Amino acid sequence: GAVVSQHPSRVICKSGTSVKIECRSLDFQATTMFWYRQFPKKSLMLMATSNEGSKATYEQGVEKDKFLINHASLTLSTLTVTSAHPEDSSFYICSARDPGRDEQYFGPGTRLTVT
Amino acid sequence: EDKVVQSPLSLVVHEGDTVTLNCSYEVTNFRSLLWYKQEKKAPTFLFMLTSSGIEKKSGRLSSILDKKELFSILNITATQTGDSAIYLCAVEDWAQKLVFGQGTRLTINP
């Protein structure tokens, strides 16, 4: 079964509003989670590393004030897209590595559409 | 800058054919190389490779890593239409960050 969940799976919002996406590790504790973005027919691009109890580490070119990441517990990281614009429309995927296993698990993804 | 390059970008074959997908990389602090299959949603894990020359096998899929030449291949034998997907190669560093290649879009025609 799924070991990393994301909610919501799909969201449509209006320009200017904010959207929160949750990523949960279900069977293990993850001190580190990752957020990726995938444009249509493109590969996954790492946006940021979410660290439990501390600030997220953002990749070059990713605006930290626009993509707010909070990792408040060992099983939950949230990504908030603030003041969303149509160009933020994308597929957002989180991942986490189970420290006891040799796999990095992906969540099912969240498809965001900004109108 | 870390880089992962996959080839071909697109491949169309007939059911029953064997395919080989390629992945080359330039990464500092290499930890592992991973292969994923992506259909309509998030990628699903296929293999994780850390050592050179040791083939990993799962049914009709197999993969091997060459850490000297910095590449990996993914083989699929006796392909089926259900194998149609995008196959992603990613390299993990010791901070657990994944750098993905562009993916290979594989289409299996009946």
Convert the pLDDT of each residue in B55-76 to its tens digit.
Answer: 999 999 999 999 999 999 999 9
Check residue A7 and give its pLDDT. 96
Interface of A to B at Cβ within 8 Å reads 32, 34, 36, 42-46, 49, 93, 95, 97, 102-109
Please measure the distance between the N-terminal and C-terminal CA atoms of chain B and give it in whole angstroms: 41
Q: What count of other Cβ atoms lies within 10 Å of the Cβ of residue A96?
A: 28
Tell me the pLDDT of chain B averaged across its residues.
94
Tell me the mean pLDDT in the region B3-16: 96
pLDDT at B9: 95
| Torsion (CA) B37, A27, A100, B23 in degrees, nearest 10 | 10
Distance, CA of B18 to CA of A41 (rounded, Å): 24
Over range A15-41, report the average pLDDT. Answer: 92
Using the beta-carbon criterion (under 8 Å), do B92 and A104 form an inter-chain contact? yes
Res. B32 pLDDT band, cuts 50 70 90? very high
Q: Which residues, including other chains, have CB under 8 Å from residue A41's CB and lie 6 or more apart?
A: none
pLDDT, tens digit, for every residue of A61-115?
999 999 999 998 889 999 999 999 999 999 999 998 877 776 788 999 999 999 9
Q: Which residues pair with B105 in a beta bridge?
A: B10, B86
Give residue A46's pLDDT: 93
Residue scoring higher pLDDT (A50 or A42): A50
CA distance B104 to chain A (A): 10
Taking CB atoms and an 8 Å cutoff, what residues of chain B touch A107? Answer: 42
Per-residue pLDDT at B6: 97
Nearest to B97 by CA among B29, B7, B5: B29
Report the residue count for chain B.
Answer: 110
Residue A108 to residue B41, Cβ atoms within 8 A: yes
Q: Do A106 and B43 touch (CB under 8 A)?
A: yes
In this structure, what DSSP letter does residue B81 have?
Answer: G
Confidence of residue A40 (pLDDT cuts 50, 70, 90): confident
Q: Are B89 and B33 in contact (CB under 8 A)?
A: yes
- Most A CBs within 10 A among B5, B34, B38, B96, hence the mutation to make, goes to B96
> Which candidate, A30, A36, A7, A22, places its Cα nearest to that of A79?
A22
Residue B85 C-beta-side C-alpha neighbours within 13 Å: 21
Residue B94 or residue A5, greater confidence: A5
